[in-house]
Structure 1
Amino acid sequence: MDLPFNFTFGNQFKLLKNLSRLDISGITGHCDVRRISRNFFENTPFLKEIDISNCKISHFDKGPFKFLRQLRKLDISHNKELGFAFLPNVTYGLNGTNITTFHADSIHCQIGKGTLLTLSHIQYLFQTKLTEASFANNRIELIEKGVLPNMPTTLEKLSFAANRLTTGIYLFEFHTLYNLREYNMTLFLHQENFASFSEKCDEKSDSFTTNLSIKHEDIRSKRFEVKNRINITIYLPKNLETIFANSSKLYGRFPKFNLNASGIKNVYLQDNFLFAWNQPVFGVESVEKLDLSNNLCTDISPLFTASLLRVKYLNLARNMLGRALRSDNKCQIFQNQRNIEELDISGNQLVDLPFCTFQNLVKMRILRLGNNQMTNVSFGIRHMINLSYVDFSDNRLTSLSDETMTSLKLIFKKSKVLINLSYNKLQCTCQNLAFLAWMNEHKNHFVHIEQYICSNRNTQFEFREMEKSLLILHMNCINFDILNVTATAFITLFLCLALVLIIRKYIWHIRYFIYKTKQKHNFEIRLSGMDPEPLLMNKNLPNLNIQDLSEDSMNTLCDRKQSANQYFYDAFISYVGADRDFVFQKVKPLLESHNINVCIRDIHFELGNGKIENIMKAIGRSRRTICIVSKAYMRSRWRTYELNMAKMEGIKARDSLGFVHLVLMPDLFHGVCNTNIKDLIDRKYYLDYPPDGSALQEEFWKKLIDIIKSPYL
C-alpha cells in the first residue's frame, strides 16, 4: 500500500486481526513517511512482516516495534538518511518480539566516507532470535571489536555485501557465531549511477562514524598475501557452510594458511585478482564447491589442490592456466580430486594437456573445456564412465583422434553423454572421412550438430543432411579414373612442387647468403679503392679505416663473431608502425633508463640507404634483436623480412637462435601461430606481454632487461 506524508494507523486497525504482513515500501509503491514515531505501529499489534524500505525515513523514535510481539521479519533498507546512528532506536525492544529476519541495507548515502559498525549500534540485537541479518551497501570499512560476539547466537545468515571492508581484529571473531551457515562479503562491481553524485542526501551520523579516520591503525590493505614463514589459522563457525567473497577485490598470491571450519562446503572467490595458487591451504577437506573463475591466475600448484579432497564442483574458468596445466607432466594437480563431478577450465588458453591430466577423475559428469586453443584432444577420457556432458566448443579442433573416438564410443554404450563441438574448425575432407562417418553414426550425442559448419568452406557438405553429404564426399574421394589419367602430370607437378618447396623452405638461408656475398664483394671493392669510410661502428673501440686493414684481415672483419662488448647497440627493436607508440612511450624509455642502447628504425636508419641495407646493418650492429610481435606485425612483409634475417644472423653468425627474442602482444593470443615464430616459441625465446595494469608488468620488464643483458643460450 502507498503511504503519504504524516500518515498514522488509527484505532480501527486494531480490528484487523488477520493483518500479518505490511508492505509500504517505496520500491513497490509510493511511501513518504519521513519519521517513525514510538506509537506508529501501536494499533497494528498482529503484524508479522513489515517492509518499510525506501520510504525516505530520516528519523526513528526509540522502540517503535516493541509492541509487535509476533513480528518475525523487518526490512528498513534504502532509507539512505538514517545511517547507523538510528539503529539503536530501531532495534530497541526487538528482544520482546519473535523477529528472525532483519535487513538494514543501504541506510547510508551512496557517496561518502567509510563507516564503522560499532557495538552500540547492535547492542539490542543480542537477546533476539535472529537467524538472518543483512547490512549490505552501507560503506562499512571496519567492524568494531566485540560486534560479532554480541550478535545473536541463533544467527545463520549474515551479509556485509557491497561494502568497503578492510581487514581487522573482527576477522578473528567470526568463530563466535556458532550457528552461522552463510556469510556474504561480496563486493558487487556495478557501475555507479551518476545521478547519485548530485542527489540530496543528509544521513545522520554519530561520533563513531565521523571519527573513523582516527581508527585507521586497525586497517590493513586487502592484499591477500603473507610471508611464507607466518602460519595463519583462520577460525570460522563450525556450522558455516557457505562463504561469498566473489568480486571483493582480493589481490595477490593465495597465501599459506590453516582454515578451522569443519562444516564449510561452498566457497565463492570468483572475479578477484588472486593470480597465483601455489601455496598449501589446510582445513578445506570438507569443501564441495569452489569457484575461482576469472582471477587472472597464471600458476597453480599440486600443493594448493592437495587438501581439496571432497570437492565436487570446481570452477577455474577464465584464468590463464594453460601453461601451468600443460607443464604438469606428472599429472599431480588433480591427482587428489577423485570426487569431482563438474570441472570448468574453459577460457584458460589451453593448447593441449598431458594424457594423464584427468586420470583420477573417475566420477566426472560435466567437463567444460570451451573457449580455448586446443587443436587436438590429447588427454585420456576412457575412464570417465559417468560423463553426461563434454564441452569442446570454440576451440581449434579439426577432428578427434582415433583414441578419443574409441574412448567415447565405449562411453556411449554406458551413458547418454552429450558433446559440444560447435565453433571449431572441423575439416570436411577426404582425410576426415572416417571422423565424419563416426559423427554420423553417433549424431544423437552431439549438441546442435545441425548447426556445425565446415572450416574449409565445403558448400556440398551439410551437417543437417549428414548421410547425403557423406555419400557425395565419399564418391569424390574414390574417383580413381581421374587419378589414373592425371598420374603422369601429377609426378611432373610433384617434382616441380618439391623444388619450389625446397627453395621456399630455405628461402631465408638463400637470401642471407646472397646478402653476405654481396656485402663481401662490396668490401673488396672498397678495399681496392682505399675508401677512407669507417668500417666498424663501435661504441667501445676506435673506428677502423680501410687503410688500417690488410687483405688477410678482410675475411676476419666480414665474418668474425664479435664478443659481448663489440656491438654498437645492445638491442635492435623490430616493430610494426601500429606499435610505434608502444615502442616510443614504453620500450625505448624503460630500456634506456637501464643503460641499454637500442636501435630504432625511425631514429637510426640512414637516409639514402635501401630498406634491406638499413635492416641488415641494424641487425649486424646489435647484440640482440627484440621483435614486438602483434597481429599487424605478422601481416607486415618487411617485418617478416627483419624477423627471418635476424634468425639467420643468429644461426649463421652468432651460433644461437637466442639472438632473437619475441615479445608477444596480447592481441596475438587468439590468433593462429605463424610458422615464422613457431621455432622461437618452441624454444621458449619469447615473453608474453601482460595486459596494461596487470600485476605482471614489473616482472615482464625485469625479464626483458635480463634477456638483453644475458649471453645467448
Structure 2
Amino acid sequence: MSIIGVISLSYAQVNASVNFGIWFFAQVTGYGFRDCIQSFENKYSCNCIYGGLRDIKRVVSDLPKDLKYLNVSYNYITVLNEGSFENLPYLLTLRLHHNGILHIDRGAFDNLTFLEELNLSFNNISSLPKDVFRGLSNLTSLYLNQNFLSSIDPEAFSPLINMQTLNLSSNNLQDFEKIVQCIQPLQKLEVLMICSNQISSLNQSLRLPSTLKYLYLCKNHLTSLDCSEDFFLNVRKLELSYNNIFTSSLQKFNLSKVYNLNLGFNENFDILAFIKNSSVRPNRIDYSGLKLNNSIKLKTLCESVHDLDRLTLLSNEIKFLESQCLTKCRPRKTLDLSRNRLKGVGCLEFLDNATISTLIVEHNLLKLLKNCKQSKLFPNLDTISFRYNRIYLVKANAFQFSPNLKQLKLNINNIVFMEREALSGLRNLKELRLDNNLLTDLYESSFLDLTELQILNLRNNMLSVIFPNAFHSLKNLKILDLGGNKIGKLEADSFFGLHNLTKLYLDRNHIKTITGYIFSHVESTLFVLDLGSNQLRFSTSKQRFSPFRNLSKLYDLKLQGQQPYGLTVIPQGFFNGLRSLRALYLTNNRLTSLSANLFDELSKLKYLSLAENCNGIQDLPPGIFKNINNLTELNLENICLQDIKPEVFSTLPNLKKLQLTKNVLKHINVKVLDNMTNLKYLDLRKCPLTCSCNNAELQRWIRKAQVQVVHPYNLTCPGHQKSYFHNFDTHVCDHEIKLNLFCSTFPSILLFLFIPIVYSKFYWQIKYNYFLFIVWLHERWKSDKELYKYDAFVSYNTCDELWVYKVMLPILEDSSLNLCLHHRDFQLGRDIIDNIVDSIHNSRKTICIVSRSYLQSEWCSLEMQLASYKLFDEMRDVLVLILLEDIPDRELSTYHRMRKVMLKKTYITWPHEPEAQNLFWAKVIEAVTGTRSSVVAEADTWGDEGLLLMK
C-alpha cells in the first residue's frame, strides 16, 4: 500500500473518533435543540409540535434542566417509558395531546414533583396502571379526554393529592362506581368531566369527594340515577345533557346547592314537571334543548321561573315568539335564544322587562330587521348579537327600542342593504360589527348618530368606494376595519371626521395608489395601518415619494403581499416621516432590490420582515440597517440571500431574533454574529451550509455561543443527506494542525511525484555517480593512464560478434592493445550492470561498434550511454565510434541519443574495399592510443579521397 493510502486510512479512523467526540460535545453544551424550539419571549418554554417525533426520551434529552413549559403535541409518540422526563425536574406544564400514545409505563413521570398541568388528551390510552402518575404530588389539572380508556386501577390517581381538575370525557368507561373509587384519594378535586362515555348507571355506595363542585356527565347512557339522594349535595354545576334521564329519577335528589343544572336533550325529560317538584331553584337551570318550542310551554315556564339573571333557551326549536310570552320570566341581564328557528324578533314584543341588558339571538333564521320607531324601549339593553343569521335587510330605526345600546353584532349575515337611518338613535353605541356581509355602499348618513362609536368592523363586504364624509360623524372612532373589500381608490376626504382614529385596516382590497392626502385627516392620531394584499406597485426606485410623511405616530405598518406581482421596487424615501414606526411588514413582495438608505429614518424600528422575496433580493446593500440600531427581530426567510456581510449586519447590536430560513447561504462569517451581542434566536433551517473548513468556526460558534440555533442537529451537509453540519470533522481545519500536516505531507508528496520521473530519466546517471563514489571511497578511480587495466572496452551487438572476433580483435591485439570484451572478460556471477560500469571505468577508451543491430539493442545503448557519462565527466575523448554499416540520417533520427553523440563526435566508417582497410585500422589504433601513425599522416596528404574513411 502506498503511503498516501496509509495516510487516508489513518484520517478515516481519526475522523470517526473525532465525529463521535464532536457529537457528544454538542449534546452537552450546544445551545440548540434537536427537536424543539425555545420560546423567544420565554426561555423556560419549549415547543416541539408537528415534528414527526417518536421517541420522547430523545426529544427531551437535550432540553434545559430549568424548563417549565413543554409542548410535545401533534407527533407520533406511542410509549412513555419509565423516567421519560427525569431530567426536567422543574416542569410546570406538560402537553402530550394528539400523539397516539398507547401505553404509559409506571413511573413515566418520575421526578416531575413541580408539575401542575398534564395534558394526555387525543391519544390511544386504554388503561391506567398503578403508579402511572407516581411522583405528581403537585398536579392540579389532568386531561385524559379523547382516549380509549376502559379500565383504571383503583390506585392510579392516589399520588395526585392536589388534583383539582380531571377530564375523562370521550373514553370507553362504563362503571361509574369504579370511577368514584379511583377519585376517592383526590381530596381537593373540584372539576370532574366524564362526558361521552358508556356510563348507564350511577349506582354505587361511595360518595363523591366533598370538594367536587363541577360534575359533567353529559352524552352518556344514563336513564335512572341509582344513587343516594344526597349524592350531589356539594355539586354546584351539574351537566346531565344528552342522556335518557326520566323526570322522576332526578326529582328525589337534593340539588339545593346546584347553581347551574343542564338537562338538555334528554328525550324523556319533562322540565315543566320537574321544576314543580324539585329542590333546585328554577332560575339555576339551563333550559337549552328541552323542547320548549311554543308560547304555551314558554308561558308555563315563566310562571315558575322569574327574576333570574340569565335565561338560556338554546336549541329548543322555537319558531315564533308571541307577544309578551316571556314577560313573566323577567330575565334581569341576559336572554339567549341562539340555535333555534326564529325568523324574526320584531321589536322584542315578547319581552316586557326593561331591565334586560343582553340579547343573544345567534344561529337562527332571521331575515329582516323591521322599523321599530314606535316600539317599547329597553333602556338597559346594551348588547345585542344577531350573528350567524340570514339577515339581508336592516330597516330604518331597527334598533330604536335600545337607545343605550353599546355593542351591536350583525356580522356573518347576508346584509345587502341598510337603510340610511337603520342605526339612528344609537348615540351610545361603542362597537359595531358588520363584517362578513354583502354591503356595497356606505352613505353620509349611515353612521350619523354613532357619535360615541369606537370600533367599526366592515371587513369582508363588497364595498368598492368610500364616499367623502361617510365617517364624518365618527369623531370618537378608534378602530376602523375595511379589510377584505373591493376598494380600488381612496380620496382625500375618505376619512374626514375621524379625529381619534388609531387603527386603520385596509388589507385585501384593490388599492393601486396611495398618497399623503389620503391620510391627512388621521395623520396626527394613527398608530396602526394595514395595507397588505392590495395592488400597490411602483415603476422605478429612482422616484422620490413618501405617502407616510406626516404619520409621525404610526408604529405598525403592513405592506405585505401586494398583488399580483408584489411591490418589486420601493421609491426613494418611501418611509420618510415614520419616526415612531416599530414594526414593518414587507413579506412576499418579490422585491428586486433595496436601496441602502431605505430605512434611514426608521430609528425606532424593532421588527422588520422581508421574508419570501426570493425571486428578487439576493444581496442586501451595505449600510441598509445602519440607522435602525434598535431592531430586535429581523425576518429574512427565503430572500435568496447568499452571504452575511459585515458591512450589512454589523450595525445591529440589539438584534435578538434573526430568521435566515431557506436562503442560499453556504458560509457565514462568525464575526458578524459576534457583533450581535444580544442575539438569542437564530434560524438557519434549509440553508445549504457547506460542511467544510470555511464553516468550522460557525460549527464551534453554534456549540458555544449563548444563542438558540433552531434545530441545529437537522442541518444536513449539501449532497450528503446522512451527514450533518453539527458533527462534520473540523479537526483538520485547525491552523496549527494544517501547517504541520502540510509540512509533513507536502515533501513526501513531492518525493513520490519526482521519484518515478527521476528513475525513468536519470537512472543510469545516478548509477554512474554512485559507482564513482564507491570507486573514490576505495581509491580505485585515478586518472593516471598506467592504472587502466584495458586500453579499450569494446561495446558491440552479438550480431556483429563474428566481425569483432575474426576481423577486429586479431589486428588490434597484434598491435599490443589490450581489449575488454564482455563475452570474455566479464566476471562470472557478478551483476551485469556492475560488470559494464566496472569495465568502462577500467578502460582508457570505449569502442562502440555501431550497426543497425547495435542501435536496436537496449544493452548496447546502455553501454554507449555510460561511456558518454565518462566522456562528460573527464572532459576528454574516451569514445571511439566505428560505423560498421552505412546508416542514413533518417534512420539515425529515431535513435536520438546516438544521433546526438554522432553529431558532436567524429566517427570512423568501416570500408569494404580491402585497399582502404589498412588506413581504417591505423585510424582506430590512433584513436585508442593517441599516437599518430605514418599511414594516417600519408592519408592526410591525399585530400578528399583520404577523408572518405572518416566523416
Residue number in structure 2 paired with 1:100: 357
Measured after TM superposition, the shift of residue 58 of structure 1 is 0.6
Query: Could you tell me which of 286, 302, 305 is aligned with 1:23?
Result: 286
Give, in whole Å, the separation in 2 of the partners of 1:11 and 1:402: 79
Within a 5 Å distance, the mapping from 1:224-373 to structure 2 comes to 224-225=464-465, 231-235=468-472, 237-247=474-484, 249-256=485-492, 257-274=494-511, 276-278=513-515, 280-285=518-523, 286-295=525-534, 297-298=536-537, 305-306=548-549, 308-320=551-563, 324=567, 326-328=569-571, 330-332=572-574, 334-373=575-614
Contact 1:54 1:79 in 2 (8 A): yes
Query: Could you tell me which of 673, 685, 689 is aligned with 1:422?
Result: 685
What SS does the corresponding residue of 1:74 show, helix, strand or coil?
Answer: strand
Residue number in structure 2 paired with 1:145: 396
Residue number in structure 1 paired with 2:369: 117
* Residues 299, 462 of structure 1: alpha-carbon distance in 2 compared, 3 angstrom cutoff: same
Contact 1:418 1:446 in 2 (8 A): yes
Contact 2:321 2:350 in 1 (8 A): no
Query: Could you tell me which of 436, 451, 457 is aligned with 1:187?
Result: 436
Q: Over residues 558-615 of structure 1, what are the superposed CA-to-partner deviations in whole Å (9 max), with x where a residue is unaligned?
A: xxxxxxxxxxxxxxxxxxxxxxxxxxxxxxxxxxxxxxxxxxxxxxxxxxxxxxxxxx
* Residues 11, 395 of structure 1: alpha-carbon distance in 2 compared, 3 angstrom cutoff: same
Contact 2:397 2:424 in 1 (8 A): no
Query: How many residues matched?
Result: 432
Contact 2:629 2:652 in 1 (8 A): no
Q: Over residues 1-27 of structure 1, what are the superposed CA-to-partner deviations in whole Å (9 max), with x where a residue is unaligned?
A: 21669956469569878655543334x
RMSD between superposed Cα atoms in Å: 4.5
Contact 1:315 1:343 in 2 (8 A): yes
* Residues 409, 340 of structure 1: alpha-carbon distance in 2 compared, 3 angstrom cutoff: closer
Q: Over residues 609-647 of structure 1, what are the superposed CA-to-partner deviations in whole Å (9 max), with x where a residue is unaligned?
A: xxxxxxxxxxxxxxxxxxxxxxxxxxxxxxxxxxxxxxx
Q: Over residues 9-57 of structure 1, what are the superposed CA-to-partner deviations in whole Å (9 max), with x where a residue is unaligned?
A: 469569878655543334xxx6563556445323111321223233211
Whether 2:635 is the aligned partner of 1:398: answer no
Counterpart residue type for residue 403 of structure 1: E
Give, in whole Å, the separation in 2 of the partners of 1:291 and 1:132: 29
- Higher helix content, 1 or 2: 1
Give, in whole Å, the separation in 2 of the partners of 1:162 and 1:260: 28
Q: Over residues 373-421 of structure 1, what are the superposed CA-to-partner deviations in whole Å (9 max), with x where a residue is unaligned?
A: 1323347334444433322223322332222331234646664553444
Give, in whole Å, the separation in 1 of the partners of 2:693 and 2:579: 40
Give, in whole Å, the separation in 2 of the partners of 1:19 and 1:365: 56
Q: Over residues 105-145 of structure 1, what are the superposed CA-to-partner deviations in whole Å (9 max), with x where a residue is unaligned?
A: 23217xxxxx442323x865743323322222333334223
Give, in whole Å, the separation in 1 of the partners of 2:376 and 2:628: 52
Residue number in structure 2 paired with 1:155: 405
Within a 5 Å distance, the mapping from 1:600-611 to structure 2 comes to none
Give, in whole Å, the separation in 2 of the partners of 1:302 and 1:63: 64
Within a 5 Å distance, the mapping from 1:577-592 to structure 2 comes to none
Counterpart residue type for residue 462 of structure 2: K
Within a 5 Å distance, the mapping from 1:400-479 to structure 2 comes to 400-409=644-653, 411=655, 415-416=678-679, 418-424=681-687, 426=689, 444=707, 446-453=709-716, 456-457=718-719, 462-465=724-727
Counterpart residue type for residue 464 of structure 1: H
Give, in whole Å, the separation in 2 of the partners of 1:147 and 1:483: 94
Residue number in structure 2 paired with 1:43: 304
Measured after TM superposition, the shift of residue 64 of structure 1 is 3.2
What SS does the corresponding residue of 2:577 show, helix, strand or coil?
Answer: coil
* Residues 406, 168 of structure 1: alpha-carbon distance in 2 compared, 3 angstrom cutoff: same
Measured after TM superposition, the shift of residue 224 of structure 1 is 1.9
Moved more, 277-286 or 365-374: 277-286
* Residues 242, 8 of structure 1: alpha-carbon distance in 2 compared, 3 angstrom cutoff: farther
What SS does the corresponding residue of 2:641 show, helix, strand or coil?
Answer: coil
Counterpart residue type for residue 356 of structure 1: N
Whether 2:261 is the aligned partner of 1:2: answer no
Contact 1:322 1:349 in 2 (8 A): yes
* Residues 321, 140 of structure 1: alpha-carbon distance in 2 compared, 3 angstrom cutoff: same
Question: Which residues of structure 2 form unaligned runs of 5+?
Answer: 1-262, 439-460, 657-675, 754-951
Moved more, 49-58 or 434-443: 434-443
Measured after TM superposition, the shift of residue 76 of structure 1 is 1.5
Q: Over residues 404-460 of structure 1, what are the superposed CA-to-partner deviations in whole Å (9 max), with x where a residue is unaligned?
A: 331234646664553444344556667777877777775615444444455x43669
TM-score, normalised on structure 1? 0.51
Q: Over residues 641-664 of structure 1, what are the superposed CA-to-partner deviations in whole Å (9 max), with x where a residue is unaligned?
A: xxxxxxxxxxxxxxxxxxxxxxxx
Q: Which has the larger radius of gyration?
A: 2
Give, in whole Å, the separation in 1 of the partners of 2:490 and 2:427: 27
Contact 1:62 1:88 in 2 (8 A): no
Within a 5 Å distance, the mapping from 1:464-543 to structure 2 comes to 464-465=726-727
Contact 2:475 2:499 in 1 (8 A): yes
Counterpart residue type for residue 395 of structure 2: E
Counterpart residue type for residue 326 of structure 1: V
Residue number in structure 1 paired with 2:315: 54
Give, in whole Å, the separation in 2 of the partners of 1:179 and 1:236: 13
* Residues 70, 411 of structure 1: alpha-carbon distance in 2 compared, 3 angstrom cutoff: same
Give, in whole Å, the separation in 1 of the partners of 2:733 and 2:403: 72
Whether 2:386 is the aligned partner of 1:135: answer yes
Q: Over residues 523-567 of structure 1, what are the superposed CA-to-partner deviations in whole Å (9 max), with x where a residue is unaligned?
A: xxxxxxxxxxxxxxxxxxxxxxxxxxxxxxxxxxxxxxxxxxxxx
* Residues 38, 131 of structure 1: alpha-carbon distance in 2 compared, 3 angstrom cutoff: same
Give, in whole Å, the separation in 2 of the partners of 1:388 and 1:20: 54
Residue number in structure 2 paired with 1:576: none
Residue number in structure 2 paired with 1:165: 415
* Residues 25, 68 of structure 1: alpha-carbon distance in 2 compared, 3 angstrom cutoff: closer
What SS does the corresponding residue of 2:359 show, helix, strand or coil?
Answer: strand
What SS does the corresponding residue of 1:133 show, helix, strand or coil?
Answer: strand
* Residues 108, 168 of structure 1: alpha-carbon distance in 2 compared, 3 angstrom cutoff: closer
Question: Which residues of structure 1 form unaligned runs of 5+?
Answer: 110-114, 190-220, 490-713
Give, in whole Å, the separation in 2 of the partners of 1:266 and 1:10: 54
TM-score, normalised on structure 2? 0.39
Contact 1:420 1:447 in 2 (8 A): yes
Q: Over residues 301-344 of structure 1, what are the superposed CA-to-partner deviations in whole Å (9 max), with x where a residue is unaligned?
A: 9665456443333333333497536231x222x32333333333
Contact 2:264 2:287 in 1 (8 A): yes
Counterpart residue type for residue 288 of structure 1: F
* Residues 233, 395 of structure 1: alpha-carbon distance in 2 compared, 3 angstrom cutoff: same
Residue number in structure 2 paired with 1:512: none
Counterpart residue type for residue 472 of structure 2: Y
What SS does the corresponding residue of 1:42 show, helix, strand or coil?
Answer: helix
Residue number in structure 2 paired with 1:76: 337
Counterpart residue type for residue 100 of structure 1: S
What SS does the corresponding residue of 1:403 show, helix, strand or coil?
Answer: helix
* Residues 246, 73 of structure 1: alpha-carbon distance in 2 compared, 3 angstrom cutoff: farther
Give, in whole Å, the separation in 2 of the partners of 1:435 and 1:236: 60
Query: Could you tell me which of 292, 307, 325 is aligned with 1:64?
Result: 325
